[in-house]
Each structure stands twice: as C-alpha cells, then as structure tokens.
C-alpha cells in the first residue's frame, strides 16, 4: 500500500498490534485510537477534495487500506458510524455549515456518533417511527425511544429519524436530526446485555431532548429520503474489509479442525469447503457492486449473504472443538463476569447477524418489492 507515505505503514502495524495488547473495551482507549487514526490522516479517505477529511484516496486505495487494516489485526473502530454513514450523508445532503461543523471532528477522531433508527414495536420497519420532533422556535424538542443503538453509551452525537409532522404516516413527515447526547435529564442510555456478556447495543430514551433547527439534514420533512440515502452507504469498501476479517476467522477454524482431528469428519470437511466457497462468492459480489449506484437490491443481497454465512461459521467453530467448545478459558464463579475465547464469542455474537442492520425477513421483502416487483406487503397504520 502506498499513499505516498509507505514508510509509515510498518509503524502503524506495530502501533496497532501493541494497542491490541491493552483492554480493547475501554472507552478512553477506543477514543485514543480514533484520535491516533485521525492524527495520521486515516479517517475520511473517501470524502473527496472538500477539505473536510484527511488524506484523499481512490476507490482502489480505500479498498487496500481497509483490507490491510483488517489483515493487520488492528483494533476495532468506534468511529465508523460517523465516518462511514453520517459523513457521506452530510456530503450528499448537508449544508455547507453542517459540513464545516461536523466533518472535521469526525476526521480528527474527536466526536463519535450513533444511529437513532430502530424503535420498539417497529424493529427493522424503519417507516414505523413514533419518536416525535416538535418545532419550538429555533429548535426541535424530541420525545420517544430508540433501541439496538450501537455504541450509544460512547457517542457524543446521534443522528435521529423522527416524526416532525403531526398526523403523518409511514415515510411521510419524517426529519433527520443531529442530536447532542450530552443532555442530562433529557437523554437516558440503557445498555442491553447480550449473550456474550457485553453491551454494545443500547436503549435510548429522549425526554424532551433538543436539536437545533440548523441541524436538520436535507430539510424538514425530507428525513425518509436522507435515511434511505444513508443506508446505501452501508455497503462498499467496508464490506471487503469485513470479508478479510471473515477469512481470518475461517482460517482459525480450519486450523482448529486439523488440530482436533475433526477435519476427518466428512460433514465437517463439507462445511469448511462450503464456507470457503461462499466467502469467495461474497467477495466477487462485493467487487461487482463496488462503487455502483441505483441497485436497490445490492445492499440486501450482501446482508443476506454474510449474515447467514457468519452464523454458520460460528456454529462450526464450536463444533470442531467437540466438548471443549463448551468450556470457558478460565474458571468462573458468580458474580464475576464469565469469560469466553474467540470461537465462543463468535458463536454467540453471530446469532445477532441475521437481525441487526435489517433482519433477513426485511431484506427478502426489499428484494421482493424493489427488485422482483412483487406486490407490496400490507403495512398497518400507526397509532
């Protein structure tokens, strides 16, 4: 990889590996790593020449960077929601003032974001928004609840899809607002404990939280268009980096199967070969759609492919270890949190892969309606 700074590449790898020796779950450590990336110019590579990002890179260079980052075993990102989702949305729909205010802190790794989309009772039905934003002078007062909000407990800001037109239904009357999370007594974040023992997802309660009027992206009432545009940014370069991580996980499972002797089981061998072949198909599909626009079904196809694939990998990762797959790496007694190794964490965490980011059922509905032209599924009116 050469962005004109090839001499820095090995230094980055060394720093990344050293950082992994620390506790990756610590909030301040995660923030420090984002600022390290920002200081090195590695955030916002695909933002273009607008002056808001750091280095600029072609699409090919972005792919190389993302894959090498994953291959180096670099730390997991906590700023990706701002960099990969909000920033491209602001570049496409934001005002000059919004770009100048929010893009530089994302590029520097100074401000972290979360996504306020899903709600109780609606789940992946994004048009079922009940959270309300009422105009009060120069601001909006927001009341409602969001759920499955990734990294809300660490975020400084949240982009919130809310109903700003009283009496509106479904995708009409929505607005896309940028909301500061530091509003004591008006915003409450409750972590959701997962099977893995961690809490990456949260419930977020808005009780009269405020958003400034100039922080509505795309204009009042245009939230659905902006929200749909944002979802289109969820595929692309990051998908190829994700697949690099998947390949490393698969290689680990193959090594374990050899060491345990499970590879002699024809069913296990068949499963490993299928996973390898399917991963290659996912990569070719990602390369085929990379940089393309206007393909309504591409994000849904990609999500269907990798969600189920990752679950099957997690199941096989535990299976090849036999009885040892059910034993933790350290002695455990309540009330101390239990520990898991990488394979056990993969098995449990991947159960959510076919749910978050739009469930498999929702992805199939999108493909049926928008690609195949089948009749739309009836939707009940909101109360």
Which active-site residues does the annotation give? 234
What distance in Å separates the CA atoms of residue 227 and residue 208, rounded to the nearest whole number? 22
Q: Tell me the two tokens of residue 263.
A: 């590879």
Q: Tell me the two tokens of residue 204.
A: 């977020």
What distance in Å separates the CA atoms of residue 271 and residue 313, rounded to the nearest whole number? 9
CB 17 within 8 A of CB 37: no
Nearest residue to 303 (alpha-carbon basis) of 231, 251, 371: 231
Strand 174-180 relative to strand 132-136: parallel, antiparallel, unpaired? unpaired
Nearest residue to 117 (alpha-carbon basis) of 159, 80, 172, 171: 159
CB 237 within 8 A of CB 66: yes
Residue 11 phi, psi dihedral angles, 5° rounding? -60, -40
Strand 113-116 relative to strand 157-163: parallel, antiparallel, unpaired? parallel
| Residue for token pair 């701002």 | 82
What distance in Å separates the CA atoms of residue 239 and residue 287, rounded to the nearest whole number? 9
| DSSP label of 75 | P
E strand or H helix at 29, and its extent? helix 27-39
What distance in Å separates the CA atoms of residue 34 and residue 19, rounded to the nearest whole number? 12
């Amino acid at each position: 990889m050469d962005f004109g700074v090839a001499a820095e590449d090995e230094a980055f790898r060394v720093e990344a590996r050293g950082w992994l020796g620390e506790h990756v779950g610590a909030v301040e450590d995660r923030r420090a790593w984002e600022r390290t990336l920002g200081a090195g110019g590695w955030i916002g590579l695909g933002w273009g020449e607008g002056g808001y990002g750091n280095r600029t890179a072609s699409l090919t260079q972005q792919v190389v960077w993302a894959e090498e980052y994953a291959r180096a075993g670099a730390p997991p990102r906590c700023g990706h929601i701002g960099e990969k989702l909000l920033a491209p949305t602001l570049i496409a729909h934001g005002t000059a003032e919004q770009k100048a205010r929010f893009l530089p802190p994302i590029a520097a790794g100074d401000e972290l974001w979360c996504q306020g989309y899903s709600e109780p009772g609606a789940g992946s039905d994004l048009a079922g928004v009940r959270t309300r934003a009422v105009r009060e002078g120069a601001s909006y007062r927001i009341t409602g609840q969001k759920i499955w909000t990734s990294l809300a407990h660490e975020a400084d800001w949240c982009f919130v899809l809310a109903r700003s037109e009283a009496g509106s239904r479904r995708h009409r009357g929505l607005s896309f607002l940028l909301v500061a999370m530091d509003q004591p007594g008006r915003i409450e974040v409750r972590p959701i404990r997962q099977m893995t023992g961690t809490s990456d997802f949260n419930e977020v309660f808005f009780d009269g939280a405020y958003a400034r009027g100039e922080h509505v992206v795309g204009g009042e009432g245009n939230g659905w268009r902006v929200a749909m545009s944002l979802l289109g940014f969820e595929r692309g370069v990051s998908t190829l980096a994700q697949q690099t991580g998947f390949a490393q996980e698969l290689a680990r499972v193959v090594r374990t199967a050899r060491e345990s002797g499970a590879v002699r089981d024809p069913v296990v061998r068949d499963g490993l070969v299928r996973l390898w072949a399917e991963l290659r198909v996912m990569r070719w599909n990602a390369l085929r759609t990379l940089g393309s626009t206007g393909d309504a079904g591409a994000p849904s196809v990609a999500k269907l492919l990798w969600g189920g694939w990752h679950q099957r990998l997690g199941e096989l990762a535990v299976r090849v270890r036999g009885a040892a797959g059910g034993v933790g790496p350290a002695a455990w007694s309540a009330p101390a949190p239990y520990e898991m190794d990488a394979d056990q964490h993969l098995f449990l965490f991947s159960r959510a892969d076919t749910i978050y980011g739009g469930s498999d059922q929702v992805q199939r509905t999108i493909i049926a309606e928008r690609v195949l032209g089948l009749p739309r599924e009836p939707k009940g009116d909101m109360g």
